[in-house]
Amino acid sequence: MLRRLRIENLVLIREADLAFGPGLNAVTGETGAGKTIFAQAIGLLLGARADASSVGADGSEAYVEAELDVPAGFFDEDDVAALAELRPAGEAGLVLARRVFADGRTRAYAWGRAVAREDVAAAAERLIAMSGQFEQRRLARAAFQLDVLDAFCGAEQLERRADAAGAWRELGAARKRLDELTRDAGAAAARTAELEALVEDTEGLEPGDADALRMQRERLRHVAELEEAAADAADAISPEEGDGAAALAARAERALAPLERIAPELAAAAAELRDVSVRLQEVGSDLHGFLASLEADPGALDEVEGRLARIADLQRRFGCASYGELLERAAEARRELEETAAGHDPVAAAVEAVEEAEARRSALAEALHEARRTNARPFADAVSAELQGLGMGDGELVVELRDREPGAMGTDEAVFLVRPNQGLPFGPVAETASGGELSRIALALAAVAGGGSSGMKILVFDEIDAGIGGVTAHAVAATLERLAERAQVLTITHLPQIASVAERHYRVEKVPGDPTHTRIEELDELLRREELERMAGGAEFLANLGRGQASA
C-alpha to C-alpha distance for 295 and 226, rounded to whole angstroms: 11
Structure confidence at residue 320 (pLDDT)? 85
Is the Cβ–Cβ distance between 454 and 162 less than 8 Å?
Answer: no
Mean pLDDT of 34-43: 87
Name the helix (H) or strand (E) containing 266.
none
Of residues 118 and 231, the one with the higher pLDDT is: 118
Q: How confident is the model at residue 182 (pLDDT cuts 50, 70, 90)?
A: confident
For the cut 80, the answer to whether the pLDDT of residue 544 exceeds it is no
Structure confidence at residue 1 (pLDDT)? 87
- Measure Cα distances from 513 to 32, 122, 516, 518 in Å: 15, 39, 4, 10
C-alpha to C-alpha distance for 544 and 547, rounded to whole angstroms: 5
For the cut 80, the answer to whether the pLDDT of residue 502 exceeds it is yes
Structure confidence at residue 355 (pLDDT)? 94
Structure confidence at residue 550 (pLDDT)? 52
pTM: 0.59
Strands (E), 468-536: 488-492, 504-511, 517-522
Structure confidence at residue 298 (pLDDT)? 62
Q: Give the type of residue at 174.
A: A
Structure confidence at residue 85 (pLDDT)? 81
Mean pLDDT of the chain: 83
Burial 474-487 (b: 16+ CB within 10 A, else e): bbbbebbbebbeeb
C-alpha to C-alpha distance for 283 and 370, rounded to whole angstroms: 74
- Of 540, 547, 489, the closest CA to residue 27 belongs to 489
Structure confidence at residue 251 (pLDDT)? 82
Of residues 420 and 502, the one with the higher pLDDT is: 502
C-alpha to C-alpha distance for 65 and 47, rounded to whole angstroms: 13
Mean pLDDT of 98-114: 91
What single string gives the DSSP state of each residue in 141-165?
A: -HHHHHHHHHHHH-HHHHHHHHHHH
Structure confidence at residue 280 (pLDDT)? 85
Is the Cβ–Cβ distance between 280 and 246 less than 8 Å?
Answer: yes
Cβ contacts of 44 within 8 Å, gap of 6 or more: 50, 54, 64, 98, 100, 106
Q: How confident is the model at residue 444 (pLDDT cuts 50, 70, 90)?
A: confident
For the cut 70, the answer to whether the pLDDT of residue 221 exceeds it is no
Give the CATH number of domain 1-131+494-552.
Answer: 3.40.50.300
Mean pLDDT of 324-330: 89
pLDDT 10s digits, 120-141 = 988 888 888 887 555 566 777 7
- Measure Cα distances from 454 to 125, 131, 158, 169, 512 in Å: 10, 17, 9, 19, 43
Most confidently modeled range among 48-52, 214-218, 467-471:
48-52
For the cut 70, the answer to whether the pLDDT of residue 546 exceeds it is no
Task: For the chain, give every domain's residue range.
Answer: 1-131+494-552
Most confidently modeled range among 349-363, 383-397, 468-482:
349-363
pLDDT 10s digits, 54-102 = 998 888 899 999 999 888 777 777 677 778 888 888 788 899 999 999 9
Name the helix (H) or strand (E) containing 56.
none
Cβ contacts of 95 within 8 Å, gap of 6 or more: 65, 66, 67, 68, 109, 110, 111, 112
pLDDT 10s digits, 292-307 = 776 656 677 788 888 8
Is the Cβ–Cβ distance between 109 and 98 less than 8 Å?
Answer: yes
- Of 330, 447, 348, the closest CA to residue 388 belongs to 447
Please confirm whether the linkage preceding 264 is cis (ω < 30° from 0).
no
Lowest mean pLDDT among 159-168, 240-249, 455-464: 455-464
Structure confidence at residue 512 (pLDDT)? 85
- Of 166, 72, 129, 93, the closest CA to residue 449 belongs to 129
